[in-house]
Amino acid sequence: MRVDGRINGREHVLDVAPSTLLLDLLRDLGLTGAKPSCELEVCGACTVQLDGLPVSACTTLAIELDGRSVETVEGLAPSDDRLHPVQQAFLKHSALQCGFCTPGMVMSAKALLETNPAPSRDDVVHWLEGSICRCTGYEPIVDAVLEAAGAMAHG
């Protein structure tokens, strides 16, 4: 099927099978930031933003991209020295170890801050409930998201 959609700001015309998952489509295009893990929409490692909303690419069909816009972690920073505030805050707070959950965490956090620019700690915890991290124990991630909120409010 023909799909007309935007990926990280660029128009794409794609020919995809109806059963193709958005995650596979993105990864086949070389955008491997979104990760396959639980495949059940519970771990958050494949989170991308579809028209701004965070979705699990592992359970979203590629054809849903038609007429819409998807943003992946690769679209956030034009270069290493121009990281998104969420990315900067993750680095500052050591909010990652193995990094496999990080792209999904970053995208989920970014979507939160676009919806709610001044979240409370409880808001962040509630929002990130759909993202699993096995390495960090979460606290540095929550700290990083709150820091990013502050930086974006002042920046």
Partner 1 sequence: MAERRLDGAQGGGGAGFAGAGANNTEPRISGTSVPRLDGVAKVTGRAKYAVDLDVPNVAHGVAVRADRAHARILGIDAAESEAVPGVLAVVTAKTVAPIDVRFGHISRDHPALAVDKVLYAGEPVALVVAETRRAAEAAARLVRVAYEDLPAVIDADEALGEGAPLLHETHPGRTGDEGFHNTGGGGLAGNLCAENTLGWGDVDAAFEAADLVVEGEYRYPMLYGYAMEPYNATALFEEGSLLVYTTAQHPYMVRDDLARMFELPLARVRVVVPYVGGGYGTKSYTKVEPLAALGAHVTGRPVRVALSVEEAIYTTRSDGARIRARSAFRSDGTLLARDFDVVMNSGAYSDNSPLVCAKLANRCFGPYRLEALRVRCRSVFTNTTPASSLRGFGAPQGNLAGELQMDEAADRLGIDARDLRLQNVVAPGEEILPGKRGIDADLGADLELATESLGWGERPGVGFGISASDAGAHPTSVTMVRLHSDGSASCAVGATELGQGSRTVLSQILADGLGLPFERVAIVQSDTGVTTYERTTGASRTTTLVGRALLLACDDARRKIRELAAELVQGEIEDVDGGVRAGGEELSYGDVIRRWFGSGGEVVGIGAIRKAGEFDKLPPFWEIGASGVVASVDEETGRVTIEQLTTVGDVGFAVNPALLHGQDLGAATMCLGAALSEELVYDGTTLSNPNVVEYRVPRVSDLPKKIDQILAERRDGIGPFGAKGGGEGSGNTIGGAVAAAVGRLLGRYPKELPLTPERVWRLAQESREREQEAVHG
Binding site for partner 1 (CB under 8 A): 27, 30-40, 42-43, 45, 72-74, 76-77, 80, 83, 87, 90-91, 94, 96-103, 106, 125-126, 128-129, 131-143
Q: What minimum distance in Å lies between the beta carbon of 75 and partner 1?
A: 9
Give the CA count within 13 Å in the CB-facing half-sphere of 119: 25
Q: Are 6 and 12 in contact (CB under 8 A)?
A: yes
- Residues sharing a CB contact under 8 Å with residue 112, sequence separation 6 or more, in sequence order: 119, 123, 124, 127, 128, 145
Question: In the complex with partner 1, which residue's Cβ is closer, 68 or 82?
Answer: 82
Q: What minimum distance in Å lies between the beta carbon of 130 and partner 1?
A: 9
Question: In the complex with partner 1, which residue's Cβ is closer, 27 or 65?
Answer: 27
Question: In the complex with partner 1, which residue's Cβ is closer, 69 or 97?
Answer: 97
Question: In the complex with partner 1, which residue's Cβ is closer, 65 or 106?
Answer: 106
Which pair of structure tokens corresponds to residue 67? 């007429």
Strand partners, 64: none
Instruction: Report which DSSP code applies to 75.
Output: G
